[in-house]
Amino acid sequence: MTANIFAASFFSDAYEWVTTLRLPVGEWVNVFVDFLMDTFGNQFAAIRTGISWMVDLLEAIIGFVPYWGVAIIIALIAWRIAGRGVAIFSLLGVLFIANIQLWDYAVITLAQIITATVIALVIGVPTGILAAKFKTVNSIVRPILDFMQTMPAFVYLIPAVFFFRIGSVPAVFATIIFAMPPAIRLTSLGIRQVPVELIEAGEAYGSNWHQLLFKIQLPQAMPTIMAGVNQCIMLALSMVVIASMIGAGGLGSVVRDGISSLDVGKGFEGGIAVVVIAIILDRLTQGSGKN
């Protein structure tokens, strides 16, 4: 009886506690963001300069070549690694984007996507390798990846603006966070799927870890890693409209411009240009994965 009363009061107390003592999670995050800004202001400024340099450089390079030049170059690359069909599609796709007057916007978007993807891969692939090799790394990285992938992107747009101001840099930063997880996951998966016999054979011939990694594991895992690269690019493209909310410009702002002025046609044109770029990049990375 007393036990029952005790239990009842315990649970009602616990219930009270759950609902009344609200954890100030939001305030902790605010304090943390302020702390980061105060402490690492210079580092953020340096990262900002670096990323902005890379985006500007790419934009200058892609923008320097006329659209038909880019169309031919991409078509040639596509012919070489993905076949004639993809080459023709790429050629027509770029000409189509230029035809609907969106090439200048596409250049900005491409520069940002490429920058974000390259950085995501430079961080992601080694992290994937480490996660495949060490169980501890894997168990630390996995929940972080879940977090990165499922946290709605809107949530880190504004901190990204605090750290990196508006423009292409916070957009690239937000895109990296959103697009990196599959690169890490699939790299790690690819390496772990390499047959044990192959590793043992390598070890029997006296290979060190370095030789094992570069001569056996990475080549064997390459198709899976390329699937990760492919996913990374696709996710980066899916961020363009969201990124335009923090000043990224490019095709995303064309879409938002169309939608927010009730001009569905204009929004659709921006959207279809994104789709064309996505298909070209998808076929190119899939093609190079097969080779």
Partner 1 sequence: MLSVAAIGCDTGSEESVEIGYVNWACATASSYLAANIIETELGIEANLNDLDAAPMWQSVATGDVDFIVCAWLPGTHAEYFGELEDEVVDLGPNYHDARIGLVVPTYVDIDSIEELNDHVDQFEGRIVGIDPGAGIMSATDTALDEYGLDFELVASGDAAMTAELRTAIQNEEWIVVTGWTPHWKFADFDLKFLEDPKGVYGGAETINTITRMDFASDNPAVQSFLDNYYLSAEQLGDLIGMMEEYDDNNEAAQAWMEANRDVVDGWLE
Contact present, 131 and 145 (Cβ < 8 Å): no
Q: How far is the CB of 168 from partner 1 (least distance, A)?
A: 10
DSSP per residue, 122-154: HHHHHHHHHHHH-HHHHHHHHHHHHHHHHS-HH
* 271 lines the binding site for partner 1 (CB under 8 A): no
260 lies in the site for partner 1, by CB under 8 A: yes
CB of 254 to partner 1, least distance (A): 8
A 10 A CB-CB count for 64 gives: 10
Does 249 participate in binding partner 1 (rule CB under 8 A)?
yes
- In terms of Cβ atoms closer than 10 Å to its own Cβ (0-12, 13-18, 19+), residue 112 is buried
For residue 251, state whether it binds partner 1 (rule: CB under 8 A): no
Selected binder of partner 1 within 245, 251, 280, 284 (CB under 8 A): 245
Q: Pick between residue 133 and residue 165 the one whose CB is nearest to partner 1.
A: 165
Contacting residues for 80 by C-beta, under 8 A, at least 6 apart: none
**x/- site string to partner 1, residues 140 to 169, per CB under 8 A?**
-----------------xx--xx--xxx--
Cβ closer to partner 1: 143 or 265?
265
Encoded tokens for 99: 């035809």
Q: What is the CA radius of gyration of the chain?
A: 24
- Shortest separation between residue 197's beta carbon and partner 1, angstroms: 54
Interface residues with partner 1 (CB under 8 A) are 157-158, 161-162, 165-167, 244-247, 249, 253-254, 256-263
